[in-house]
Structure 1
Amino acid sequence: MCLRKKESTLRQFVKIKNNVSLLFRKYSQFIKFGLVGFSNTLISYVTYALLVYLDVYYQIANIVAFTISSLSGFVLNRSWVFDGKNGHIVKQLLKYYLVYGSSLILSLVLTYIWIELVGVNKYLPPIINLIITVPYNYLLNKVWAFRMHKGTANVVPDGEFLDAGNANT
């Protein structure tokens, strides 16, 4: 009886492990983007909070925090998340900063709304804004800034390689 219970538990564990592995392979790019984003958010938020604590105007603190965290984000997104090492670095950098610059403007507007119009504590808007800016940044980086061009390899969500010229993603 005890042996059957152990076998059943082991089968359940293996099934869960396989499902987690399948989910990771299917969504690995988004998961990696999330991990890079989490580290950048941590860097950005600590910088923002420290500057606000030091009585730096919150919008200036937001800009400085963005600037510091975005460069590491570019390097990690280019080399690890979107595998854009074969792309033209200057074009990717310009597109990346256009995406993140527009995201910064969006964040500044939202931060103003949260603090000045809604009355939210000035430490919370950078966290609230993530609900909008994370999907915005992911999609624009994936489909535009780090998009692979014809004749280069690209990875589809399920982990299979295909020719970017024939990809419908």
Structure 2
Amino acid sequence: MSRLPLPIEPQACARDQAGEHQRLYALKRLPRRVQQVFLLNRLDQLDYATIAKRLDLPVLSIERNMHLALQAVQPGADANARVAGQWYVRLQSPDVTACERIDFRRWLDAAPEHLQAFHETELRWRSLLAPARALGLDGWYRQGRTAISLGGCSLAMGIGVAALMLLGFWA
């Protein structure tokens, strides 16, 4: 005999949706480059080296951007949560060394709070999929480095042309 699934509490759904909305808002407040790096990794599942090559950035810059994205969704994190986030990002880097992996293991084993903080970081990372999908819905982040730069330039040029037209119209 199979069991029927337990009904989902409406309050739990409301909390999840509120949390998802807050995470999306936090991600939207990040600089565009950080958003782009985050989305390329989270949605397109590109590794740091591939993102670095695509955007012509050093891998260390990709790591910094990923850490910023992860920390943005947990403002006011304690020291253990911040360190866990740094480890989580660093361990995904192609530049991580065997010595760093040993250091991570030592840090993890040093206190139960470290293991708990790292586990919460992993859960927080998983909770970012839905907000990432909403943020990258139109695929803007797949455009190269120049697309982001040209976007601002195009806007400035458009405003300049409009100003010249207005001046020409009034003259």
TM over 0.5: no
RCO higher in 1 or 2 (8 Å CA, sep ≥ 6)? 2
> So what's the TM-score if we normalise by structure 2?
0.31
Could you tell me the TM-score, scaled by structure 1's length?
Answer: 0.32
